């Protein structure tokens, strides 16, 4: 995340906004205290300022990225309310900030392979009170070079950046007045948050809130990696390494894209069954040596009657070097490996350059599914409501705030799909 700065003229406008807005609300959430430490704490939430909305959180996923923060693999400031994968209902809307919906980046849909049906229904409207909204951890600014290229997922100054820690951005405080940040501007592991209106994407209100939460990170990341970053075509073959929430979403994305064969690979045999339920056609337990795993995969492929080359597309959703090496070894000459999982910040990859160049293969990096949140969130929610994507099967367990420590521990073990915090309403 880039460092945040106070926006021009924000102070005066906010003072006006506060005088017109509803009262401060009490809330409760998971507060990151520094590497290795968090607490469940109460906090107070200001009314929304111009261009902001206040959201009663319905659900928040517990993502591996949160674990990277907690375990100190990613340097992040403290204290802040954790979480970046959430959905909730708009409780109040700040005073008009001026300007309508932003041209926050065209989606790259020219050769869209995911057959998501109808085109976008025109410029999206802003969030209104009562809307079910999916929160985006990158809310494109609509003005930077990346946004103007139509690549909003690479925005360099998203709304709410700097984890809302700059003096003018703080909207939540401990009861003693101490400022709290909100992770990625949305801090979804808190029961109430103020977020940028551009980060709150209204979706079909019939969407299961737990599913809506997962659309905010894992589902968009996994499905988008397949359909938008790699642009898998109908009839192609795919391998997915690492079957957590993102990897399972990639399996679903491969099915949506019409992949003919989907090989699911994980070091934990128990995780393969879920992938099979979601559409994987072949299952492979990853061994300690990536080249052995790749050889097993080529044997599987030979079983399809197609020789011993690798697959057309491989994806690493594990974020581990062994997983990435497996994905690289799994692809055929001229094929594409897409890196999706996020490793610790210090991770480095060794590459046999001679063999790689000779292979004519490609390595892609996929960030937030190469998708503009305001477009893909709506599409994915529609798929869920219509039953064309069984996203509810990514939910391993619905938990309360008190269960978050156990959920982090399960993530460390690599156990299960997604655990989702459900917030009590009222």
Question: Can you give the binding site for Zn ion, defined by CB under 5 A?
Answer: 63, 65, 140-141, 144, 147, 155, 217
DSSP bridge partners of 179? 173
What whole-number distance in Å separates Cα of residue 215 and Cα of residue 97?
27
Q: Which residue's CB is nearer to Zn ion, number 140 or number 335?
A: 140
Pair type for strands 261-266 and 237-241: parallel
Name the minimum Å distance from CB 246 to Zn ion: 8
CA geometry: angle at 403 spanning 398 and 405, to 5°?
Answer: 130
Q: Residue 292 region, left (φ>0) first, then alpha (ψ -120 to 50), else beta?
A: alpha
Name the minimum Å distance from CB 337 to Zn ion: 21
In 3-state terms the chain splits into helix, strand, coil percentages (rounded to 5) of 35, 25, 40
Q: Which residue's CB is nearer to Zn ion, number 181 or number 290?
A: 181
Q: Which residue's CB is nearer to Zn ion, number 65 or number 336?
A: 65
Name the minimum Å distance from CB 378 to Zn ion: 19
Q: Which residue's CB is nearer to Zn ion, number 43 or number 137?
A: 137
* Residue 289 CA neighbour count, 13 Å, CB half: 4
Name the minimum Å distance from CB 7 to Zn ion: 14
What whole-number distance in Å separates Cα of residue 180 and Cα of residue 162?
12
Name the minimum Å distance from CB 333 to Zn ion: 33
What whole-number distance in Å separates Cα of residue 256 and Cα of residue 359?
28
Helices (H), 278-424: 290-303, 321-330, 353-359, 373-386, 404-413
Name the minimum Å distance from CB 216 to Zn ion: 8
Q: Which residue's CB is nearer to Zn ion, number 131 or number 151?
A: 151
Secondary structure E strands in 35-147: 37-45, 52-61, 80-81, 86-93, 132-135
Q: Which residue's CB is nearer to Zn ion, number 10 or number 369?
A: 369
Q: Which residue's CB is nearer to Zn ion, number 141 or number 407?
A: 141
What whole-number distance in Å separates Cα of residue 330 and Cα of residue 315?
9
Question: What backbone phi and psi angles, to 5 degrees, belong to 161?
Answer: -70, 170
Name the minimum Å distance from CB 284 to Zn ion: 25
Q: Which residue's CB is nearer to Zn ion, number 7 or number 261?
A: 7
Name the minimum Å distance from CB 146 to Zn ion: 5
**In this structure, is the dihedral angle defined by the CA atoms of residues 150, 151, 153 and 157, taken in order, positive or negative?**
negative
Residues with Cβ within 8 Å of residue 129, at least 6 apart in sequence = 90, 91, 92, 93
Name the minimum Å distance from CB 370 to Zn ion: 15
* Alpha carbon 160 to chain centroid, angstroms: 16
Q: Which residue's CB is nearer to Zn ion, number 67 or number 276?
A: 67
Question: What backbone phi and psi angles, to 5 degrees, belong to 129?
Answer: -55, 130
Name the minimum Å distance from CB 104 to Zn ion: 8
What is the SS3 assignment for 327-363?
Answer: HHHHEEEEEEEEECCCCCCCCCCCCCHHHHHHHCCEE
Q: Which residue's CB is nearer to Zn ion, number 141 or number 226?
A: 141
DSSP state for residue 288 in the 8-state scheme: S
Name the minimum Å distance from CB 154 to Zn ion: 8
The two structure tokens encoding residue 356: 């790689």
Question: What backbone phi and psi angles, to 5 degrees, belong to 313?
Answer: -135, 130
Q: Which residue's CB is nearer to Zn ion, number 17 or number 222?
A: 222
């Amino acid at each position: 995340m880039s460092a945040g700065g106070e926006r021009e003229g924000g102070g005066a406008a906010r003072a006006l906004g506060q005088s017109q807005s509803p009262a401060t609300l009490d809330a409760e959430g998971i507060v990151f205290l520094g590497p290795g430490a968090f607490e469940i704490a109460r906090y107070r939430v200001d009314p929304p300022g111009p261009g902001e909305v206040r959201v009663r959180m319905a659900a928040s996923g517990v993502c591996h990225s949160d674990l990277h923060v907690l375990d100190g693999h990613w340097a992040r400031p403290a204290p802040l309310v954790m979480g970046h994968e959430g959905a909730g209902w708009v409780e109040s809307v700040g005073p008009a900030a001026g300007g309508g919906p932003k041209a926050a980046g065209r989606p790259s849909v020219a050769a869209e392979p995911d057959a998501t049906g109808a085109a976008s229904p025109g410029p999206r409207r802003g969030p209104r009170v009562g809307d079910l909204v999916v929160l985006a951890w990158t809310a494109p600014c609509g003005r930077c070079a990346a946004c103007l290229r139509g690549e909003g997922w690479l925005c360099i100054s998203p709304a709410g950046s700097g984890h809302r820690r700059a003096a003018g951005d703080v909207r939540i405080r401990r009861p003693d007045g101490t400022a709290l940040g909100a992770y990625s501007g949305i801090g979804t592991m808190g029961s109430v948050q103020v977020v940028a209106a551009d980060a709150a994407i209204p979706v079909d209100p019939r969407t299961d809130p737990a599913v809506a939460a997962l659309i905010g990170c894992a589902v968009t990341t996994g499905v988008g990696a397949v359909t938008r970053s790699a642009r898998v075509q109908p009839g192609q073959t795919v391998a997915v390494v690492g079957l957590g929430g993102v990897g399972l979403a990639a399996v679903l994305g491969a099915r949506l894209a019409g992949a003919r064969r989907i090989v699911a690979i994980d070091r934990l045999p128990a995780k393969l069954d879920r992938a099979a339920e979601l559409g994987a056609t072949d299952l492979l337990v990853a061994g300690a040596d990536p080249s052995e795993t790749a050889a097993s995969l080529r044997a599987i492929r030979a079983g399809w009657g197609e020789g011993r080359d690798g697959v057309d597309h491989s994806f690493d959703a594990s974020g581990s070097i062994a997983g990435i090496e497996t994905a690289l070894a799994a692809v055929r000459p001229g094929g594409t490996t897409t890196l999706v999982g996020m490793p610790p910040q210090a991770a480095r990859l060794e590459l046999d350059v001679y063999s790689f160049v000779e292979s004519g293969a490609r390595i892609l990096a996929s960030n937030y599914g190469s998708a503009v949140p305001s477009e893909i969130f709506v599409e994915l929610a529609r798929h869920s409501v219509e039953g064309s994507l069984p996203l509810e099967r990514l939910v391993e367990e619905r938990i309360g705030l008190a269960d978050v420590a156990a959920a982090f521990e399960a993530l460390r073990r690599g156990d299960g799909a997604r655990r989702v915090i459900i917030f009590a309403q009222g």
